[in-house]
Chains A and B, each alone.
Chain A
């Protein structure tokens, strides 16, 4: 299976609203699970793609994952909203520590340089700041869930 076929498969699953899908053929194994608005793809990189050159890097495999969120974000960007994206792969946290209130809520005004969330990877807590001033219109990631590199996190209406 190549990357194009994988993408088509995911689009098909979304179209038919199939929540979970697993495929095993020889040593090729693909598992797609859609959690709410997000699509999580886990395809073991070396197992799944070594037989068809050129093998896409793991990042490329994962890139179709947040398909629906990305499309939504693209639509929002069209409406002139500023999209804050994740600079790393990791786990998204909306608050500074478990149980404490979130950094920001929908409707909050934020300044440039104000902390919006934490992305944790390899036990490194990465504070993500807003690069613009404005109003938080939408939070696009779910607390405690994985996010990909470049995945949209917040839509902000700039002042």
Chain B
């Protein structure tokens, strides 16, 4: 793949590919067939060779890594790309349990078991979204690490703004919305002892180039393409995402939750004065008006019976 990309739109002979990769010509043919199955446009020219018809918008490590110098995600072998996997969060959690150092990144073109909060599925169709999970080992107590969840949403919003110019709204704690519809979800998972986080995984799913959503999702979901009428480079967006995640993570570790909470209050229309219905895990639903975040980052909602603290999520505008 990399050799073809280096000679994009030029015909490369099977022999040259075989030499550069160090495999046989028939293995080259099998690899090309495999890439075609995965949706890469490769033309075959009899007796001359193979040609990459267009540089594909694939989230390959070779394309992303050079842009990440100086971040915790920089380094050989830290980015792992798969064309198809169950869930990038599952891969990252397994690696965390196995002792993998922080800064590893999992990117997938397609997830077959993408998941969100509370067992919800995350639709992860092939090469139209970004499905990305990062492994972190914050030197923090579990309570101090919670604002990672807010910081991840803020970082993703900043990345979307840099790559597309679009200013997304944030729904506490970290859903990204355009025109009131969700186009990005974040699932953070953590494994901790009483006083120390062992590892944390932040999974980000962004709907980029989906042309439509079917059924119930059409009511509540959107993509950057649906919101703007044009396609966007997933590659640029993924690079921006990892850069901003790096910055947000370092800032939280160095300066604590204060700046994260303040930034969220400034950026999110949900932070203050929004009428919401709250379905917080196993508790009875209630309604109220949002009233800022507390010092730890929990959303406060004014209700007829006093101010309540939203613990988990499930906040919807009414």
A residues apposed to B, CB below 8 Å: 22, 29, 31, 42-48, 58, 85, 87-91, 93, 97-100, 120-129, 131, 142-146, 149
**Residues of the A chain whose Cβ atoms lie less than 8 Å from the Cβ of B173:** 122-124
**Residues of the B chain whose Cβ atoms lie less than 8 Å from the Cβ of A145:** 281-283
Query: Across the A-B interface, how many residue pairs have beta carbons closer than 8 Å?
Result: 120
Quick check: B280 and A87 within 8 Å, CB to CB?
Answer: no
Quick check: A125 and B311 within 8 Å, CB to CB?
Answer: no
Quick check: A126 and B187 within 8 Å, CB to CB?
Answer: no
Shortest beta-carbon distance from B116 to chain A in Å: 9
B294 within 8 A of A: yes
Nearest B-chain residue to A125, judged by Cβ: B189
Quick check: B118 and A89 within 8 Å, CB to CB?
Answer: no
Quick check: A126 and B312 within 8 Å, CB to CB?
Answer: no
Quick check: A42 and B305 within 8 Å, CB to CB?
Answer: yes
Provide the B291-306 mask, 1 if CB < 8 A to any CB of A, else 0. Answer: 0001011100000011
Provide the B36-62 mask, 1 if CB < 8 A to any CB of A, else 0. Answer: 000000000000000000000000000
**Residues of the B chain whose Cβ atoms lie less than 8 Å from the Cβ of A129:** 191, 193
Nearest B-chain residue to A149, judged by Cβ: B143
Decide: A88 near B143, CB < 8 A? Known: A31-B306, A123-B173, A123-B186.
yes
- Size class of the B contact interface (CB-based, 8 Å): 35 or more
Give CA–CA (A88, B142) in the complex, Å. Answer: 6
Give CA–CA (A146, B298) in the complex, Å. Answer: 13
Quick check: A91 and B282 within 8 Å, CB to CB?
Answer: yes
B117 within 8 A of A: yes
Q: Among A122, A127, A131, A144, which residue has its beta carbon within 8 angstroms of that of B298?
A: A122
Quick check: B191 and A127 within 8 Å, CB to CB?
Answer: yes
Quick check: A144 and B188 within 8 Å, CB to CB?
Answer: no
Quick check: A123 and B313 within 8 Å, CB to CB?
Answer: yes
Quick check: A144 and B187 within 8 Å, CB to CB?
Answer: no
Sort A-B residue pairs by CB-CB distance and give the 9 closest, nearest first. Answer: A144-B282, A44-B307, A97-B119, A91-B281, A87-B142, A122-B149, A124-B188, A122-B173, A44-B306
